[in-house]
Amino acid sequence: MSLTIYGQQLDSRLLIGSALYSSPQVMKEAILASGSQVVTLSLKRQNPADNSGAKIWQYIQDIVTQTNGFLLPNTAGCKNAKEAITLARMSQEIFNTDWIKLEVIGDDYNLQPDPIELLKATEQLISEGFKVLPYCTDDLVLCQRLSDLGCEVVMPWASPIGTGKGLMNPYNLETIRLRLPNTTLILDAGIGKPSDACLAMEMGYDGVLLNSAVALADDPVVMAKAFALALQAGEFGYSGGTMPERQTAHPSTPTLDTPFWHQNEA
Amino acid sequence: MNVFINGKNFTIAHSDNQHECVINQALQQFLNEDQQQTTFAVALNSDFVGRADYDNTPIKDGDSIDVLFPIQGG
């Protein structure tokens, strides 16, 4: 179970978000239970009277230290390339990383990425030396363009952020996997159940990035473990090679010398 | 001098003979002591300003400064 992101080998194929948990302690326990070594986080305005962000930041630092892990800052909330580029530069200074989960939202209703602005921002940030992990739709040509620009990792959505609807369009996702065999593909957003993550891995995806599915579960720690196991099952399912699907039934028990049945037909 | 910090109007105190303010003055007055020691990043009129430039980046009336801190994210 190892995943390589921009040359960095990781023990887990799960990337996990730090938002929406009921408390910082639950967040920490769930992320540790998941086995993930990549934690996403963000930057926001904060007024002097409110110091709550400092506590969260301390927890996230503790997690990364404990897991020997990595921070993956995002550009959540950005609506054009300029905003995303500025936020990426700010994140680079704060978090001392050139990794950026690049999000440029084009529609407020379903938080669908804006492909035009995403490509613009990707091109600029790569020219500045960033290691871009773009969050995008399950559009093959967009994924190809991102890969052509130099993204070693591309992250198509399963479905809109936070919906938990799972893999909306398996055909598209399978096609992207087939057509981009040398790109690290991470399924990002919309995962609801461990079986969704397992399915992505069975398709040959390299990893899964999720947040709400664990954070909003009744028991986030148990759910985090379930996802860890689901990814492992899916990876083995893919590497084991699934049997070919058939249109007609085939008995699995040998039929030669079957007792009792058909004896009246002789 | 009046600027906007994190979307809100903020008056920067400065001496009468001071003709120009830099971004570091705004940060020192806006942030409490604890926050000045913590991790944050700054943008001026939506452009990133690196830490090394806080003392030499001038600001003017009506400028918009964003001071961002780490928070949880997905």
Nearest to B73 among A17, A47, A212 (CB): A17
Q: For residues A66 and A226, give the distance between their C-alpha atoms in angstroms, rounded to a whole number.
A: 21
Distance in Å, alpha carbon of A180 to nearest chain B alpha carbon: 25
Cα separation, A18 vs B15, in Å, equals: 44
Shortest CB distance from A45 goes to which of B6, B47, B51?
B6
| pLDDT of res. B14 | 82
* A-chain residues near B29 (CB < 8 A): none
| 8 A C-beta contact, residue B55 and residue A71 | no
Chain B residues with beta carbon closer than 8 angstroms to that of A42: 70-74
The better pLDDT of the pair B65, B18 is held by B65
Stronger pLDDT, A237 or A51, i.e. the higher one: A237
Minimum distance, in Å, between the CA of residue B16 and any CA atom of chain A: 27
Contact status, residue A228 vs residue A14, Cβ threshold 8 Å = yes
* Residue with the larger pLDDT of the pair A197 and A47: A197
Sort out which chain B residues have CB atoms less than 8 A from A211's CB and list them: 74
Domain limits of chain B? 2-68
**B35 and A86: CB-CB below 8 Å?**
no
In this structure, the strands spanning A153-156 and A184-188 are parallel
Q: Which CATH number fits domain B2-68: 3.40.50.11540, 3.10.20.30, 3.30.70.920, 2.60.40.10?
A: 3.10.20.30
Nearest chain B residue (CA) to A73:
B73
Beta-carbon-side half-sphere exposure of residue B3 (alpha carbons within 13 Å):
25
Structurally, chain A folds into a number of domains equal to: 1
Is the pLDDT at A228 greater than 70, yes or no? yes
Residue A185's φ and ψ, nearest 5 degrees, are -110, 125
- Could you tell me which of B51, B10, B72 has the C-alpha nearest to residue A74? B72
Considering only CB atoms, B71 lies closest to which of A44, A89, A90, namely A44
ipTM above 0.95, yes or no: no
β-pairing, A105-107 with A38-45?
A: unpaired
A89: containing domain:
3-265
- Residue range A150-195, pLDDT digits in tens: 999 999 999 999 999 999 999 999 999 999 999 999 999 999 999 9
Domain of A30, CATH number, reads 3.20.20.70
Cβ–Cβ gap A40/B31 under 8 Å = no
User: Strand A70-73 to strand B47-49: parallel, antiparallel, or no bridges (unpaired)?
Assistant: unpaired
Cβ–Cβ gap B69/A90 under 8 Å: no
Kindly report the length of chain B. 74
Contacting A with CB below 8 Å, chain B residues are: 6-8, 30-32, 34-35, 38-43, 46-48, 50-51, 66-74
| Average pLDDT value for residue range A220-245 | 97
B chain contacts of residue A212, beta-carbon cutoff 8 Å: 74
Cα B37 to chain center, whole Å? 14
Over residues A114-149, the pLDDT tens digits come to 999 999 999 999 999 999 999 999 999 999 999 999
Would you tell me how many other CB atoms lie within 10 Å of the CB of residue A37?
A: 23
Q: Are A13 and A228 in contact (CB under 8 A)?
A: no
Cβ pair A134, A156 in contact under 8 A: no
| Percent of chain A residues past pLDDT 70, beyond the cut | 97
The pLDDT value recorded for residue A266 is: 57
CB contact under 8 A, B70 and A17: no
Residue of A nearest to B42 (CA): A90
Q: What is the pLDDT of residues A62-94, one digit of tens each?
A: 999 999 999 999 999 999 999 999 999 999 999
- Residue A262's pLDDT band, with cuts at 50, 70 and 90, is low
> What average pLDDT does the structure give for chain A?
95
* Gyration radius from chain B CA atoms: 12
Catalytic residues of A: 101
Strands B58-59 and B64-72: what pairing?
unpaired
Report the residue of chain A nearest B47, measured CA to CA.
A86
Is A173:A156 a contact under the CB 8 Å cutoff?
A: yes
Measure the CA–CA gap between A144 and A180, rounded to whole angstroms: 7
- Within 8 A of B32 by CB-CB distance, chain A residues are 48
Mean pLDDT, residues A20-44 taken together? 97
Say how many CB pairs under 8 Å bridge A and B: 100
Residues paired with residue A154 on neighbouring β-strands, in sequence order: A185
**pLDDT above 80 (res A50):** no
Rounded to an integer, what distance in angstroms lies between the CA atom of residue A213 and that of residue A159? 13
- pLDDT of residue A255 exceeding 90: no
The tens digit of pLDDT for each residue in B7-59 reads 999 999 887 777 789 999 999 999 988 777 789 999 999 999 999 999 999 99
Token pair, residue A236, equals 């083995």
- Report the gap between the CA of B45 and the closest CA in chain A (Å): 10
What does the alpha-carbon distance between residue A139 and residue B12 come to, in Å, rounded to a whole number? 49
In this predicted structure, what is the pLDDT of residue B15? 78
Tokens of A250: 């085939």
The H-or-E segment that residue A209 falls in is strand A207-210
Nearest CA in chain B to A41: B73
Residues forming beta bridges with residue A74, ordered by sequence position: A101
Q: For chain A, give percent helix, strand, coil, nearest 5.
A: 40, 20, 40
